[in-house]
Structure 1
Amino acid sequence: MIKRFSEFCILQRAWVAGLIALITLVLSYFALHVEVRTIFEDMLPSQHPYVKVHEKFKDTFGGSNMVTIMLEVDKGDIFQPVVLEKVRTLTQELRKVSAVNAFQIVSLASKKLKEVRASTGGIETRPLMWPDLPASAAEYTALRDAVLRNPMVYGPYVSTDLKATLVTVDFIDRNVDYGTVFKEINTLVSKVNQDGAVKIRVVGDPMLYGWVNYYLPETVHLVALALALTVVLLFLLLRTWRGMLLPFLAGLVSAIWALGICKLLNINFEPLVIVVAMLITSRAVSHSVQIINRFDDEIKEIAAGKQTSRDAARTALMDLFRPGMLGIVADAGCMAVVAMSPIPMLQKLTVLSVVWVCTLTVSAVVLTPILLSWIRKPQGYAHPFDAVPYLRRFLDFAVFVATSRFRYGVLACSAIVMVTSGVYAFNLKIGDANPGSPILWPDSTYNLDSAAINQKFQGADRMFVVVGGDERDLVKRTEVLDSMNRFQRFMEAQPEIGGSVSIADILPVVNRTLREGNPRYQELGETQAVNGNIMATLESVSEPGDMDRFVDATNANAAVTLLFRDRQGETIRTAIARIKEFVAQNPLDGVSYQLAGGLIGVMGAANEVILSSQIEALALALLVLVVICTVVYRSTVAGMLFMVPVIISNTLTFSFMAWKGIGMNINTVPVAALGIGLGVDYAFYIADRIKEELAIGATPEAAIATALHSAGLGVVVTASVLIFSTLLWSASSLRFQADMGLLMAMWLGISAMSALFVMPAIIYVFRPEFIFGKPRHPAQALPLVLGTAH
């Protein structure tokens, strides 16, 4: 079947190439219009209980797209006209930002922060600083005193040293566009702080992913530079124009097809997954180079007049179709398991990746030999520098190691590496592994701003836990409020949680105010009726929406908002475990604690999904690989054999991630899944060439030597080229891309070394039947020996 297919492609090469060109031209139009942006809702596992709680209460208790702005002074305190004027301007102008939730803008200059006063004349609430700024020194002093008396402001919105204040704003999740919000807020901050009188710091997911979009032009330049370096190195090592242009063309065609098809499927392109795109493009280069190398092996026959370029191209296609397709199917199958995740972003990325990998069938496996068949004079080189002799010396060493007694040392070292790295890989963390965002460098503006805000305040990232049930006015019950209060104290014992806030904090302050400020009465009411009266008093002097951050409209549910100083995976897991511990040890009839909303809540949901599905996904990816190899080679031993380089490359890579503090999160999972297929591609070519040589009567030593000098040369060339190209990513302003570039380079290097040293040694020692064939009876082997001798 492969032979007939190869003959058809070469015989009808003009029609096949024309059809590919036509499809590429059509899809290029759609590829140019693919949408490049981050969609927040795609990053949430929508069916997870935490996300359901978040979606139900986010409009009341606050969403996960909150932006926090800190204004800080070096000298004096914030209670001076130049600072408070900026606070008021920011508060007012934020209403004009796209997708903003105008009811969730909170600052000293908003109507949300108020002071409750009681006197013989009655009870009143006044906004601390709205609508006008203080007009005199006495009014500034009064404002400072009011802030110091209010525990809901002093600490949460004004720092304890009085040198900084916060402005927080939330956005409507379904409407937010991170790039637009990022530009508008930065423009506003620059406009407000033209005189540089204060330091303004801004954090929040819209700003974080806005930075990703901000660096998109740089990312495009790095992609172009990496591709240029790839082309130059291919030209330098392969010394032919075909060796330079055809792999580049294979990568370009596959990219156009994949992006065009995804546009037709209405799938957006996430900026961070460009790493996955580069990884797949590297596979196109690899497959194309292998075919070119095999074509070059046939040049001697062409020079002798025994065959033409068409014959050589047909031979290359026919002989490399199976390992090429096996590598493509393995990559696609291993990547497809990511679709098991309930996170829409990963599901869309899976479709994009699988489509992209499958396009390599056309762009690399089929198109490359077709174009090679048109070469009229394949002999000769484009430049005099010849690196092949140096590469062959390295390959001679690989042959020596695989066929000498050192092969046992290779196998022993491989076993030790697998066990050691496998054990250390368990240190790999799920979620973010370091404070700040792992997407950006520690010294980036965003991470410095985040550290500064977390140092001055209780925490920039939030999780809300819903306490209540279906009963109206349930949260007015003293035992419920007392439980909330004890829950807050219990959670604040975790160092990473800087503080918390709930209605249980507000009612004692109001109760004290109603008792002429007597601190003895700063406590909850003794009965539900008393608490109800306090809450009713507070609501009577509040405006609509003022209580939304604390209780719902029926007072059936209340929010306990926890403020986090970092978003590390371990911090979130510890917090969730402590919440569950408190709930289990402090049950209340008819009252439930519902986890969990806000940014930290949805991050916890994503981490739990990744934690629960990652081992299953990796195991399933390995199973897919075993099944594919078993079916293709009709041997279960084949599946076990090809697992060895995969296990080596993955355990070493995961150990590297653990060592470098790269967590397994929503952005790194796809790279890990695709790495399983990446770890075995090179081994397919080596093993298949050994099998091919043995089938025509070569000795095991000769077969290994031929395979390493032919397919192995392609492995060395592609691995070297792609390792240098991916290392360029270390210059990226996005730490995630730099880390993934280093990870890809490491993956490519380990995969190449496994294919060149470990696989031949295993094959030579164990001599699997699917490669060597069934043992021949001496009488059956005699004619072959005689024929060979003749």
Structure 2
Amino acid sequence: MAVSSKPAGAMPTIRDVNEFDKRSGNLLERLVFNHRFLFLAVCALLTLFFGYKAMSLTVNASFDKMIPQSHAYIKNYVANRDKLGGLGNVVRVVVEAKNGDIFQPEFLETVKKVNDDLFLTPGVDRAWMKSIWMSGVRWVVATEEGFRGGAVMPDDYNGSPVSMAKLRTNIDTARLVGSLVSKDYKSVMIVVPLLEKDPSTGQAMDYGAFSRGLEKNIRDKHGVAGKVEIHIVGFAKMIGDLIDGMMQVLAYFGFAAVVAAGIIYAYTRCQRSTALVLVCSFVAVIWLLGSLQLLGFYLDPYSVLVPFLVFAIGVSHAAQKMNGIMQDVGRGTHKYVAARYTFRRLFLAGFTALLADAVGFAVLMVIDIPVIKDLALAASIGVAMLIVTNLLLLPVMLSFSGVSAKAAQRSLVKEAVEGSAGPGGMIGFLERFTTRRWAWGAVLASAILLVGGFYVSLGLKIGDLDAGAPELRADSRYNKDVGYINGHYGLSSDQFVVIAKVPEGMCSDMVAMKKMENLSWKLRGVPGVQTVTSLSESAAYFIAGMQEDNPKWMSVPSSPAMTEAAAQLIITNIPEAVDTGCSTIPVSAYLADHKAETLKGLVAAVEEFARENDSKDIKFLLAAGPAGIEAVTNIVVHEANRLMLLYVYAAVIVLCFVTFRSWRAVLVAVIPLVVTSVLCEALMAVLGIGVKVATLPVIALGVGIGVDYALYLLSVQLQNQRSGMPLRQAYRQAMQFTGKVVALIGVTLAAGVITWAWSPIKFQADMGILLTFMFVWNMVGALIMIPALSYFLLRSKEEKLAENASVHKASIAESAASPLRTVAARVEEYQPAK
């Protein structure tokens, strides 16, 4: 059988554009290339329009978008949010006295000013704000005449020693030590619940502006070096710090562009084509940002990574088109014709690859967390833009500009050298994997990595694995503030709340009180719980007070009259312990940390208790409080993790089958992705990175983008094989045409995201490391595993028969020589020793 050495799909060299039939090609090609000026004009207008809109795009975040709103437990929280006294989005501000304790007139005056400034801050839910300066924070004590109480801050406070002593007594009586006053009496906490929308404007809270306001109007204004230090924690402050970190991350965008430009120029040595590759990728980013503004979106700490990915993906796909045009121009083809040739050869592979990228993003929509859905939508829009800018706009622009003649000639010379049969160079090395020995070695090595990686990945955890805010660096100001508060207060910011629901006015029911008391005791036994507060605990305290503080009465009594009296006192003096309708009661567990295992244990304990104690008169519902909401988020992430991978692999398999029309080729394309996915999970386990909202998208993105390598390389290899080439030659020519750029793509993508590793935002750094690993490993896996797996799955019958015949002949020759060797060996055996 005659085999052509010319690549499949090679087209005639046309030096004069007038000799080219412009009516050839498919409808899309004719519409675009036969109306190039109109197409460029439309693209230019769109770029101006979207660029103008992108200038209005804001950077913000939303508490509600960070939580799985469709989950039943979150629905419980949302339904009772207004009755829970700000047990969701809360900021805690601690004012610390560096010299002495809090009982100093000057220090308490500073605390008052901080309290007043916070009270007047837009977006604060003032009704539920708590501190020793708030009149709603009260003390109650039992006397012979009955209960007596008042505001913790004495009405006649004037800074005198007498009023100071009274304040200290009130703090101890109200049992504020460990909650609003530190255990060492050296700091005071102000609890500041927030509204999701500013009531004066109706707009969503601007967390960046809110955080900057806290720094300027609270920390900088009232903090005095060596005298007063301010500590601030809470979702809004953490998000504000993330937004500030985003500004630094944006600087990495420019660095990534410079690195990508350097890599491409080093490969092509052509300034104009390198510039066009970057321009087209930037155009896609501009269109994406403008589209997001039109759709009413904003950039948050999660979606800010999307423009980076879109740019990197755009550069990688554009490099394939630029390489194809350069090779045709080097052969003497006119630049316009070369652009159309490249469009014909690579549009389907490029379109399918970008579609796979879009699927990798879009599959994230299955995750019931709005911020991830927004990320998926933004990334899918970005990929849709790339289909226009990189598959259509770039070839059209190159049809005008062409490429450097020297660069094209250099590319042709390099191709001729690589086309020789010699074993040297990268292609010569890689094509060895199309032979039996090397193919077996690659497959066995991959199998070992797969098994070992799977074993290590069994240690992968769901949720946060570190104390503090894992989204930020351990040495960040925020996490230092978290460390201070956790070390000086008995009630940490990691608050897990169970919602006890009873009929209206029935919170004082003795049976309900007793069940809440039992739940409190059960929660105290869960590892990681520091303390528990509830209505039953407060009731027990008041009831003991009625009995001269006799500790024997520190429990819910059997007297309905006593529980009723205690409940009325609590509603008056501790409004956060129960709502005014006496029907919604929070049972709050304060945790030592919010690690996944701690939260999982709490959820299991509450679910078990609810199954055993729920009735028509009382129900125990999950979940509220920052830790409670995070526990539900972990549940959703755990459920979505495998489902998401199942969907993305199913979609990739379908796309590969549509492209290759061969189940064997699908296996060749997908198996390297599976190995990389497992190794990525193993790397996460080794690095101590849990699966959470920030890292959940990584593997899906790695699979969706990683399949690009196989689509470009394998599609050309199969085309060559179907034209009659043997595997080794088909693979070599596929490497010359698209395979070299596959390696370039892997390096470019990795260079685009590795800069995230230096981000002040920890989860962005983690994503950068993981994506870099997946991009590089997918590239290496494609270059090695595709030829190795092709040896077993994609060789023609003729090749297999020829190899078997060759092996059979070698075996016969070996057998024929074997008796002669045996006789010689025996003769040698009987020779006398010399």
TM-score of the two chains, using structure 1 as the length reference? 0.91
1:217 to 236, 240, 247: 247
Q: Distance in 1 between matches of 2:411 and 2:616?
A: 82
8 Å Cα contact 1:287-1:364 kept in structure 2: yes
Q: What are the superposed Cα offsets for residues 590-631 of structure 1, whole Å, 9 maximum, x if unpaired?
A: 221011112222222222222112211210111111111222
Q: 1:377 to 1:431 in 2, by over 3 A?
A: closer
Do residues 229 (structure 1) and 256 (structure 2) align?
A: no
Report what 1:785 is aligned to: none
Q: 1:774 to 1:294 in 2, by over 3 A?
A: farther
Q: Distance in 2 between matches of 1:338 and 1:283?
A: 18
Q: 1:2 to 1:596 in 2, by over 3 A?
A: farther
How far has the Cα of 1:8 moved from its partner? 4.5
1:323 to 330, 333, 349: 349
Report what 2:270 is aligned to: 240
- Name the stretch that deviates more: 363-372 or 22-31: 22-31
Q: Distance in 1 between matches of 2:25 and 2:777?
A: 31
Q: 1:410 to 1:277 in 2, by over 3 A?
A: same
Report what 1:41 is aligned to: 64
8 Å Cα contact 2:497-2:586 kept in structure 1: yes
1:411 to 443, 449, 452: 443
1:102 to 109, 117, 126: 126
Q: Distance in 1 between matches of 2:539 and 2:110?
A: 31
Report what 1:72 is aligned to: 96
How many aligned residue pairs are there? 764
1:76 counterpart letter in structure 2: G
Do residues 184 (structure 1) and 213 (structure 2) align?
A: yes
8 Å Cα contact 2:495-2:591 kept in structure 1: yes
Larger Rg: 2
Q: Distance in 1 between matches of 2:156 and 2:328?
A: 85
Q: What are the superposed Cα offsets for residues 288-315 of structure 1, whole Å, 9 maximum, x if unpaired?
A: 101111222223321xxxx311222112
8 Å Cα contact 1:334-1:677 kept in structure 2: yes
How far has the Cα of 1:376 moved from its partner? 5.2
How far has the Cα of 1:36 moved from its partner? 2.2
Do residues 493 (structure 1) and 517 (structure 2) align?
A: no
Report what 1:577 is aligned to: 604
How far has the Cα of 1:272 moved from its partner? 2.5
Q: 1:118 to 1:393 in 2, by over 3 A?
A: same
Report what 1:164 is aligned to: 187
How far has the Cα of 1:521 moved from its partner? 3.7
1:615 to 636, 642, 656: 642
Q: 1:688 to 1:386 in 2, by over 3 A?
A: closer
Query: RMSD between aligned alpha carbons?
Result: 2.8
- Name the stretch that deviates more: 370-379 or 243-252: 370-379
How far has the Cα of 1:126 moved from its partner? 1.3
Which SS does the other structure have where 1:199 is aligned?
strand
8 Å Cα contact 2:62-2:196 kept in structure 1: no
Which SS does the other structure have where 1:655 is aligned?
helix
Report what 2:433 is aligned to: 401
2:327 counterpart letter in structure 1: D
Which SS does the other structure have where 2:122 is aligned?
coil
1:407 counterpart letter in structure 2: A
Q: Distance in 1 between matches of 2:800 and 2:461?
A: 52
- Name the stretch that deviates more: 681-690 or 79-88: 79-88
Q: Distance in 2 between matches of 1:287 and 1:549?
A: 57
Do residues 740 (structure 1) and 787 (structure 2) align?
A: no
How far has the Cα of 1:197 moved from its partner? 1.0
Do residues 142 (structure 1) and 157 (structure 2) align?
A: no
How far has the Cα of 1:385 moved from its partner? 13
How far has the Cα of 1:221 moved from its partner? 1.0
Q: Distance in 1 between matches of 2:622 and 2:686?
A: 32
8 Å Cα contact 1:463-1:596 kept in structure 2: yes
Q: What are the superposed Cα offsets for residues 266-300 of structure 1, whole Å, 9 maximum, x if unpaired?
A: 22222332223322322111111011112222233
2:497 to 455, 460, 464: 464
Which SS does the other structure have where 1:72 is aligned?
strand
Which SS does the other structure have where 1:100 is aligned?
coil
Report what 2:15 is aligned to: none
8 Å Cα contact 2:53-2:294 kept in structure 1: yes
8 Å Cα contact 1:317-1:365 kept in structure 2: yes
Q: Distance in 2 between matches of 1:467 and 1:29?
A: 51
Q: 1:11 to 1:403 in 2, by over 3 A?
A: farther
2:29 counterpart letter in structure 1: S
Q: Give runs of aligned pairs for residues 6-155 of structure 1, distance below 5 A.
A: 6-61=29-84, 62-131=86-155, 133=157, 135-151=159-175, 153-155=176-178
How far has the Cα of 1:532 moved from its partner? 0.6
2:177 counterpart letter in structure 1: Y
1:485 counterpart letter in structure 2: E
2:631 counterpart letter in structure 1: G
Q: Give runs of aligned pairs for residues 209-608 of structure 1, distance below 5 A.
A: 209-302=239-332, 307-375=333-401, 378-381=404-407, 393-403=425-435, 405-457=437-489, 458-470=491-503, 472-539=504-571, 542=572, 546-586=573-613, 590-608=617-635
1:374 counterpart letter in structure 2: F
Report what 2:10 is aligned to: none
How far has the Cα of 1:462 moved from its partner? 1.6
Q: Distance in 1 between matches of 2:403 and 2:674?
A: 43
Q: 1:777 to 1:586 in 2, by over 3 A?
A: closer
Which SS does the other structure have where 2:784 is aligned?
helix
How far has the Cα of 1:180 moved from its partner? 2.1
What is the identity percentage for the equivalent residue pairs of Structure 1 and Structure 2? 25
Unaligned runs of 5+ in 2: 1-23, 199-204, 419-423, 803-834
Q: Distance in 2 between matches of 1:332 and 1:75?
A: 58
Q: 1:652 to 1:341 in 2, by over 3 A?
A: same
Q: 1:323 to 1:637 in 2, by over 3 A?
A: same
Report what 1:671 is aligned to: 698
Q: Distance in 2 between matches of 1:376 and 1:360?
A: 21
Q: Distance in 1 between matches of 2:338 and 2:677?
A: 36
How far has the Cα of 1:384 moved from its partner? 11
Q: Give runs of aligned pairs for residues 727-766 of structure 1, distance below 5 A.
A: 727-766=754-793
Q: 1:384 to 1:548 in 2, by over 3 A?
A: farther
Q: Distance in 1 between matches of 2:241 and 2:131?
A: 25
8 Å Cα contact 1:54-1:63 kept in structure 2: no
Q: 1:165 to 1:335 in 2, by over 3 A?
A: same
8 Å Cα contact 1:276-1:671 kept in structure 2: no
8 Å Cα contact 2:153-2:170 kept in structure 1: no
Q: What are the superposed Cα offsets for residues 430-484 of structure 1, whole Å, 9 maximum, x if unpaired?
A: 22222222211111111111122112223112222111322x3322122322222
Which SS does the other structure have where 2:454 is aligned?
helix
Which SS does the other structure have where 2:128 is aligned?
strand
Which SS does the other structure have where 1:709 is aligned?
helix
Q: What are the superposed Cα offsets for residues 543-565 of structure 1, whole Å, 9 maximum, x if unpaired?
A: xxx54311122212311112223
Report what 1:782 is aligned to: none
How far has the Cα of 1:404 moved from its partner? 5.7
Q: Distance in 2 between matches of 1:575 and 1:420?
A: 33
Q: 1:386 to 1:119 in 2, by over 3 A?
A: farther
8 Å Cα contact 1:116-1:513 kept in structure 2: no
Which SS does the other structure have where 1:201 is aligned?
strand
Report what 1:786 is aligned to: none
Q: Distance in 1 between matches of 2:301 and 2:555?
A: 51
How far has the Cα of 1:56 moved from its partner? 2.1
TM-score of the two chains, using structure 2 as the length reference? 0.86
1:631 counterpart letter in structure 2: V
Unaligned runs of 5+ in 1: 779-790
Report what 1:683 is aligned to: 710
Q: What are the superposed Cα offsets for residues 739-787 of structure 1, whole Å, 9 maximum, x if unpaired?
A: 211112111101110111111211133216xxx6999999xxxxxxxxx
Report what 1:174 is aligned to: 197
